[in-house]
Amino acid sequence: MQKQLLDWYSQNHRNLPWRQTKDPYMIWVSEVMLQQTQVNTVIPYYLNFINHFPDVISLADADSQQVLKLWEGLGYYSRARNLHKAAKIILETYTGQIPKDPYLFIGLPGVGQYIMAAVQSIAFNHSLAVVDGNVKRVLARFCMEKYPVNSHNAHDYYSKIAYPYLHTQEPGTYNQAIMELGALICKPKKPNCNQCPIMDECKAFANGQVEHYPFREPKKTVPTHDLVCAIIFKNTKILIVQRKLTGFLGGLWEFPSYTTKTNKNKLHEIHESQEFYQENIQNKNEEYLKNQLYTNLNIKVSINQFLCRVKHAYTHFKILMDVYRCTYMSGKIMLNEFTDYRWIEIHELHQFPLPKSNHKCIPALKAYMDI
Ligand code: SF4
């Protein structure tokens, strides 16, 4: 199985930018970006990031806002913050050298079992088996293993299965090969078994059971959170606030927004009429938004108009956000739940890292302003 896989990989692997190097820093950056994100999305981000920060030292010296700005749109911003923190630790503690010892490496912020195994095997040839979604799927089919690949113990469970197959002379290449097989051939839907280099030994294929594997636990329903959001004008400037540096979307800038108790989805399903919406939701939203801005930021605003409704899905929940164009009236801004604020011109928005949900407001804002 190992030989077939390595031979297939040498002939068929994609020429991705991070595969042209053995530099642990570049491999690390690529693996961090590739977690939860598709290869085609990652490529331009990776190239841009490496262009700005070609090594650990330049990343350690960088401004955190610049790091977040280069990550903007990739999501899972804690990855960027942890990478940045880890670079600083490497500079201070390991004289700028990425630790070759896996146990030291895994002690860095954001480095878990997957990143450790990927970086240490590819860059330093350590015999560590990588287990990601692709690997779990290949192994579940290859071994006809029923353990659900999305259960919370799946990583440990499939690690035990993965190790006996690891090619100990070329662990990095083997790890990349099995992941590549999952990405190109043993795909989640309609795997190309007829082109698969390990078909002869695959149990699911031999038993005609490929479509039944891998097993998964049923998905939990994803909740929807309703938010109201204010784009507040003071003459030509608009207000943006910075989220706390840790936690969800930490360090990013946004238009102030607040979670409401209204479930617009349900109300819309029951009462589709515009009148009902105006009376029962929009008015309440506007009052609520004004109250929140006063309570949390100490400013009074008037609400001029409803601008747009933004839908956005994160991994564990969705948001439905009603966005209002507001005018600043009075009050000196006080920061309770945010760490900073700015009044900026619209054309300066691109200088700040914003969550995707906020980017989705900008076309409606520009249309309103006719720019
Ligand atoms: S034969 Fe099919 S199911 Fe088995 S490993 Fe190959 S692609 Fe996957």
pLDDT tens digit sequence for 268-291: 544 455 555 555 667 788 889 999
Residue 314: CA count within 13 A, CB half-sphere: 16
The amino acid at 90 = I
Catalytic position from the list 31, 72, 180, 254: 31
Among protein residues, the one with the nearest Cα to ligand 1's atom 4 is 202
pLDDT value at residue 336: 83
Q: Could you tell me the distance, in angstroms and rounded to a whole number, from the CA of residue 52 to the centre of ligand 1?
A: 40
Residue % of the chain over a pLDDT of 90: 78
Domain chopping of the chain, boundaries: 2-212, 224-369
pLDDT band at 91 (very low <50, low <70, confident <90, very high): very high
Predicted confidence (pLDDT) at residue 353 exceeds the cutoff of 80: yes
Q: In whole numbers, what is the pLDDT of the chain averaged over residues?
A: 91
**Which residues, judged by CB distance below 6 Å to any ligand atom, belong to the binding site of ligand 1?**
138, 141-142, 185-186, 191, 193, 196, 198-199, 202, 204-205, 210
The reported pLDDT for the residue numbered 167 is 96
- pLDDT, residue 270, reads 46
> DSSP string of 320-356?
EEEEEEEEEEE-----SSEEEEEEE-GGGGGGS---H
Q: What is the pLDDT of residue 21?
A: 92
| Residue among 1, 8, 198, 215 to mutate when testing ligand 1 (max atoms within 8 A of CB) | 198
What pLDDT, in 10s, does the model give residues 334-349? Answer: 998 899 999 999 999 9
Query: What is the b/e burial string over 307-328, where b = at least 16 CB atoms within 10 angstroms of the residue's CB?
Result: bbebebebeeeebbbbbbbbeb
Give 69's pLDDT tier (boundaries 50, 70, 90): very high
Identify the band that residue 257 occupies on the pLDDT scale cut at 50, 70 and 90: very high
Distance 249 CA to ligand 1 centre (A): 38
CATH code at 224-369 = 3.90.79.10
pLDDT at 87 over 90: yes
Q: What is the pLDDT of residues 20-68, one digit of tens each?
A: 999 999 999 999 999 888 999 999 999 999 999 999 999 999 999 999 9
Rg of the chain over Cα atoms, rounded to whole angstroms, equals: 25
Least confident range from 3-7, 210-214, 271-275: namely: 271-275
d(CA 55, CA 60): 9
Q: Are strands 300-313 and 257-259 parallel, antiparallel or unpaired?
A: unpaired
Which secondary structure element, helix H or strand E, spans residue 227, and what is its range? strand 224-234
Tell me the pLDDT tens digit for each residue of 130-189. 999 999 999 999 999 999 999 989 999 999 999 999 999 999 999 999 999 999 999 999
Tell me if 299 sits within 8 A of 333, measured CB to CB: yes
Quote the tokens at residue 24: 């642990």
- The CATH architecture one would assign to domain 2-212 is Orthogonal Bundle (1.10)
Angle between helices 171-184 and 113-124 (to 10 degrees): 120
Q: Which atom of ligand 1 is the closest one to the Cα of 203? A: 4
Do 2-212 and 224-369 agree at the fold level?
A: no
Beta strands 253-254 and 237-243 are antiparallel
Share in percent of the chain as helix, strand, coil (round to 5): 50, 15, 35
Is 31 a catalytic site residue? yes
Taking the C-alpha atoms of residue 93 and residue 283, their distance in angstroms, rounded to an integer, is: 56
The neighbour count for residue 169, using CB atoms within 10 Å, is: 11
Q: What would the two tokens of residue 297 be?
A: 């930021």
